[in-house]
Amino acid sequence: MTAQPVILDVDTGVDDALAILLAVRHPALDVRAITCTGGNAPLAQVVENTLRVLDAAGPGDIPVAAGAHRPLLEAPQHAVAIHGADGLADLNLPRSAQRPEQGHAVELLRRTLADSAEPVTIISLAPLTNIAMLLRLHPEVTDRIARVVMMGGAVGSGNATAAAEFNVWHDPEAAAIVLSEGLDVLMYGLEPFYRVSVTHDDARRLADADDPAPRLAGALLTHLIGIDATEDRVADDRVAIGDAGAVCAAIDPSPLVTRLAPVEVALTPGPTRGQTVVDLRTMVGADITTARAVPPATVVLDVDAEPYRRLFLDALLGATAPA
């Protein structure tokens, strides 16, 4: 099996870290570059966190570049309550000896796409600022993008606001650009984001591993279990793997229930700003309203979560993964 070339765009971020560990360790993916944007934490911290996670993932020479430090229009806002003051669960990981590339993330995206013999999948796990800037600055590489697997948006309720999911809410204009370009987009929104999970036992097993990659994953999941407890969200013995689920979706879409549907981002100021309006109507009566001219995205409506639990644990624990 030849590995699928991918670029990760991240705002590391506890669950971005889980996603990076999975992507680097899974043989089905060939991670060609990681680009960073400010989001869960300020940009400089996101870059440092990403390098620290790569140190734990093991040897490799994946280039990392700093990109947008703020959204196109909005002021930057960070998610300290979930990700910790350092964006990485305040684990005090050792500072990385690696340094990011000199150039901007958009240049690393452009070069990686242009240099690849095959089209490359972009796995976007952050506000979409870097990807939107790439599309506007370098339209010549658009046809080198195989597809965009985007953790962002929601069919139903949001999390940053009642209507909007964090990554889209943080930079709604950027998300609107990416969704209106006619690219092959898989929208992995909040519905699968919260469903794909591991058990608390799985998290303990990861935390007890000798290998630094599963050990870091276990420590990060333990932090998320603590957040679930303080927010009274522990319905069962499970903890969501968040952005890492979107990496699972890029590797194997078979557990997903999807619909091809137009997705429009609400840009008007007010309570719906950043909402992804997913048009799931099957019949549009001409007497009611006509469909709007929005290119469709493949929207994840539901997921069989267990195969993704297995995929995540197998990649990180190998032969020692539980049944």
Q: How far is the CB of 8 from ligand BDR (least distance, A)?
A: 11
65/321 with CB nearer Ca ion: 65
**Segment near ligand BDR (CB under 6 A); pick from 13-21, 248-256, 267-275, 311-319:** 13-21
DSSP lists the bridge partners of residue 260 as 298
Regarding 125 and contact with Ca ion (CB under 5 A), the answer is: yes
Regarding 16 and contact with Ca ion (CB under 5 A), the answer is: yes
17/141 with CB nearer ligand BDR: 17
Which partner in ligand BDR, Ca ion, none is near 122 (CB below 5 to 8 A by kind)?
none
Q: How far is CA 67 from CA 26, 75, 105, 306, in A?
A: 25, 16, 4, 35
Q: How far is the CB of 154 from Ca ion (least distance, A)?
A: 14
Binning the chain into helix, strand and coil, the percentages to the nearest 5 are 40, 20, 40
**Segment near Ca ion (CB under 5 A); pick from 68-76, 189-197, 243-251, 265-273:** 243-251
Regarding 67 and contact with ligand BDR (CB under 6 A), the answer is: no
Residue from the set 13, 67, 189, 274 that interacts with Ca ion by CB under 5 A: 13
Residue 311 exposed, middle or buried by CB count within 10 Å (0-12, 13-18, 19+): buried
13/100 with CB nearer ligand BDR: 13
Q: How far is CA 47 from CA 10, 17, 34, 184, in A?
A: 9, 11, 9, 28
Identify the residue whose tokens are 């690393």.
108
8/266 with CB nearer Ca ion: 8
| Radius of gyration, CA atoms only, the chain | 18
Q: How far apart are the first and last CA of the chain?
A: 24
The token duo for 110 is 């452009």
Would you give the binding string for ligand BDR spanning residues 145-184, x where CB under 6 A is met?
A: ------x-------x-----xxx-----------------
Closest CA to 178 of 135, 145, 138: 135
Q: Peptide bond preceding 13: is omega within 30 degrees of 0, i.e. cis?
A: yes
Provide CB contacts within 8 A for 110, sequence distance 6+: 134, 137, 138, 141
Which partner in Ca ion, ligand BDR, none is near 166 (CB below 5 to 8 A by kind)?
ligand BDR
Regarding 242 and contact with ligand BDR (CB under 6 A), the answer is: yes
Regarding 79 and contact with ligand BDR (CB under 6 A), the answer is: yes
Q: How far is the CB of 75 from ligand BDR (least distance, A)?
A: 17
Binding positions for ligand BDR, rule: CB under 6 A: 13, 15-16, 40, 79, 82, 125, 151, 159, 165-167, 193, 242-243
